[in-house]
Structure 1
């Protein structure tokens, strides 16, 4: 079965499926902070956390990726440049930069800086099309970012080096959404995620061997969900849920929604992260954070209503016309 862009009913189904995948991806990504924090607090280095995360995720996805690639290896070969960039910047770089920022800043501040990358997505679309974003899109940016400030409630002085790491993570996030929406639609999202993780894992492996990337790990128990658990629990959570599942669904969502809408729906990762932190480590959000969450949702809804009405249900946006083909096999 195929979903055609010029079929209103099929377009609505395409948009609904894309939105569902984007929310699932955001929820999965939202677990990463709590899982990683439990390891970092026990002496793990950020390089070790990221390396084991993407290496195990690549291993988990290897079998299904090989099955999906039977007879279609030429598609992967033709996309090697894009896949390499995706693996180096969107997968490996973004994660490493974020965890480096977390070591110097509050998690909330690091997240806020990372999500500045969404502004870069809008600017990229603007530069590519030479068309200024709609007023409602710009209003959505301001609203969503204001909501993030309330949710994350950053306060106190900022470490300049940590700020730089956070902004670099934002660049990686923007690259993730843009490349995810532009990869060849014939290349399954799972294969895109798997190949990017393989590139990232191999890169970090080389860096570790030459001593560029510090690797510190421990096999002691960690605190999670209010009790001591094996270090394997957060490692598996990071690899299977916060990497394999999140990246695969994220690529699929970006293809269906386009980079701009997918990136703004991705803002809900912050809300999921707050919820998961409350359940796993007992961090209950206050009223300002809850209010900020509602503001974020309003901003996401505005961008979803304005951009998706043009990009999905009507004519394709020239910015992503070459990123989303007319049909998607289902």
Structure 2
């Protein structure tokens, strides 16, 4: 029987491990996004080609791993109607929409900007939770949402409401990616309580990727496929997808979605730094201020209050 001290130590270890996994997952995502921008700018790759291949390949590899590890449990997720509905909704409205809209935003703008816009997601999660639980937002939540909206406004307009610094389609797709983050974060919670996180990811990736394959037919595209292309695509699949998503969602499961959102804000920082250094993209002062506002949103929302609410 565990003592209170042993229990607290185990909780602390789990919190530290969950935090570490979330940080690593966020960094891998940031690098993956910049790899995507490299492919878009230099190898005639498009999001319609990259995302289906990324999701289907990663999904199949993860499923093969589980099939050989424990054949009997690989298909258990399809045994009940509720689970079938959840995994299909997650695969389409969460995984597929999240990945396609994110990489399409990168193609139409850059990795740093696309990542920061996507991090409007935590503020939207707060709005959804307040709506779902029928409660008024706390003061810090109001402040967080205000900062997030202001940050996106600065990035999109550079402070001039009469003009857009981004194209309309890039801004619209970026906002769609932020909305899809809400589904991606919340929807798999019930499935994660029953099945290993990588298995849930595998089915979500395969479902979303298969639909995109049928819609975009990536085999019809002509891309420059050389060593650099192979290396970038391999990194996106193995590290940015399989490892990144598994680590992040495992971290969410261990430390909670709010704290995971806080520590994963390393992703937009890593993405912007890499975008500036590797892709030579210049960010303006409004871009940087807007980014700080979005990151401040995540930090504010993760600060515990004396009276916690579910």
TM-score range, shorter chain: 0.7 to 0.9
1:31–1:217 Cα change, 3 Å: farther
Q: Quick one: which of 174, 189, 193 aligns to 1:181?
A: 189
Match of 2:259 in 1: 261
Report what 1:234 is aligned to: 232
Where does residue 54 of structure 1 map in the other structure? 55
Please name the residue that 2:79 is paired with.
Answer: 77
Aligned position for 2:104? 100
- Report the counterpart of residue 130 of structure 2 in structure 1: 126
Counterparts of 1:33-48 in structure 2 under 5 Å?
Answer: 33-41=33-41, 42-48=43-49
Taking only aligned residues, the RMSD between alpha carbons, in angstroms, comes to: 3.4
Are 1:216 and 2:217 counterparts?
A: no
More displaced 10-residue stretch of structure 1: 8-17 or 81-90: 8-17
Question: Contact 1:45–1:214 at 8 Å: present in 2 too?
Answer: no
Greater share of helix: 2
Higher mean alpha-carbon deviation, 88-97 vs 275-284, is at: 275-284
How many residues of Structure 1 are paired with residues of Structure 2 in the alignment? 298
- Consecutive unaligned residues in structure 1, runs of 5 or more: 222-228, 312-316, 319-330
Q: Give, in angstroms, the shift of residue 27 of structure 1.
A: 0.9
Runs of 5+ in structure 2 lacking a partner?
none
Q: Whole-Å Cα distance in 1 between the matches of residues 127 and 175 of structure 2?
A: 15
The answer to whether residue 233 in structure 2 is matched with residue 190 in structure 1 is no
Superposed CA offset, 1:191-246 (max 9, x none): 1111111111211222235xxx795241344xxxxxxx521011001111111111
Could you give the per-residue CA deviations for residues 109-130 of structure 1, whole angstroms, max 9, x where no partner exists? 4334332232221112112222
Alpha carbons of structure 1 residues 180 and 15: separation in structure 2 relative to 1, 3 Å: farther
Say if 1:18 and 1:252, in contact at 8 Å, map to a contact too.
yes
TM-score in terms of structure 1 length: 0.75
TM-score w.r.t. the length of structure 2 is: 0.79
Q: Distance in 2 between matches of 1:295 and 1:208?
A: 36
